[in-house]
Copies of this chain bind each other. A is one copy, B any other.
Amino acid sequence: MINRQMVLKSHPHGIPLPSDFEMVEADVPNPGPGEMLVRNLYFSLEAAIRGWLDGKANYFEPIPLGGAIRGPSVARVVKSNVEGFEPGEIIFGLHHWEDYSLSDANTVLLSKLQPKDGIPLSYYSGGLGGSGHTAYVGLHEIGKIQAGDTVVVSAAAGATGSMACQIAKLRGCRVVGIVGSADKARLITEELGADAAVNYKHCDDLAAAISAACPEGVDVYFDNVGGRTLDAVLTCMNTFGRVIGCGMISDYNNQDNPTPIYNMWKLVEKELTLRGFLLYSYMDQVPAAMDQLHTWLEQGELKILENITEGLPNAGWAYSEMMKGATIGKNLVKVDSE
């Protein structure tokens, strides 16, 4: 049996191009003791992957040239030598962009999924997966949101941002989303319940625009982008405000020349807390997040936005589109042949 793999062909300069990736074929591996073979169904495209393409250690080892791209997937267990995992079960974990992966008890983000009837499996890669969990844990554990807080979310039409907007709204917060197009602004206010949107590409003075959209100041900022957006929001924060450091996508394509931050003095003046987090450090909180997200979804209070690309060979193209900021919601690749 053949295992198609999408590997790193060249280190991207700036935004990854489809040509930075290529398909190769390998044999399907045999699981050794303590391992299982899984069939990948959906890959979750993550901004964090960009950091692994540069050949430098990030919070994971870099992906070598010729190596399969590392990324989280929803997968079905095919053969298992791992206790507690049986063929046919559906799991989530950090695997590779390929038809079949080896997984084991130490796989990062590994969890067994119990998909509910009527809920698309793809949701477990996005709104009910890492993106939804990240939004939930970030807002509650890191941001300590309270009803009545003004919460600003950047990349608000993205996978995590679209969930963060809705969750904050469901918790009784006033929500302002920062986006990069008029379509996205309309989407988050009309479909996701955000109270206001700021289009960062259409304002001369971003801080003034955020300030105008947040007349009572900003209590919590869910930061997916870093850079000049973070710098602008810092000037709008209320005393004891919290910044949830979830991602800094504005610099992911340009890590050697990060955007400078000028307003760090606000940290002291406003007694702010800026706290970064990575979901895998908070896996103990995922079950509660999952329960709540399921409940909201069943009650019709949550919309899961997906952008599904069909076919493993198109994964590089799909990733490039996402990193350009051209997409809305959760970007997934559905593995085609089986």
Q: In the complex the two chains form, is A267's CB within 8 Å of B274's CB?
A: yes
Q: In the complex the two chains form, is A248's CB within 8 Å of B268's CB?
A: yes
User: Does A111 reach chain B (CB closer than 8 Å)?
Assistant: no
User: Does A88 reach chain B (CB closer than 8 Å)?
Assistant: no
Q: In the complex the two chains form, is B268's CB within 8 Å of A247's CB?
A: yes
Q: In the complex the two chains form, is B277's CB within 8 Å of A274's CB?
A: no
Inter-chain CA distance A261–B248, complex, in Å, is 14
Inter-chain CA distance A240–B246, complex, in Å, is 14
With A258-B263, A261-B261, A262-B260 in contact, is A277–B281 under 8 Å at CB?
no
Q: Which residues of B contact A277 (CB under 8 A)?
A: 268, 271
User: Does A273 reach chain B (CB closer than 8 Å)?
Assistant: yes
A contact residues vs B (CB 8 Å cutoff):
58-59, 226, 230, 240, 245-248, 251, 255, 258, 260-278, 281
Question: 17 additional contacts, CB 8 Å, given A248-B265, A272-B275?
Answer: A230-B264, A245-B267, A245-B268, A245-B272, A251-B265, A258-B262, A258-B264, A260-B261, A261-B264, A267-B274, A268-B276, A268-B278, A271-B275, A271-B276, A272-B276, A273-B273, A273-B274
Q: Which residues of B contact A258 (CB under 8 A)?
A: 262-265
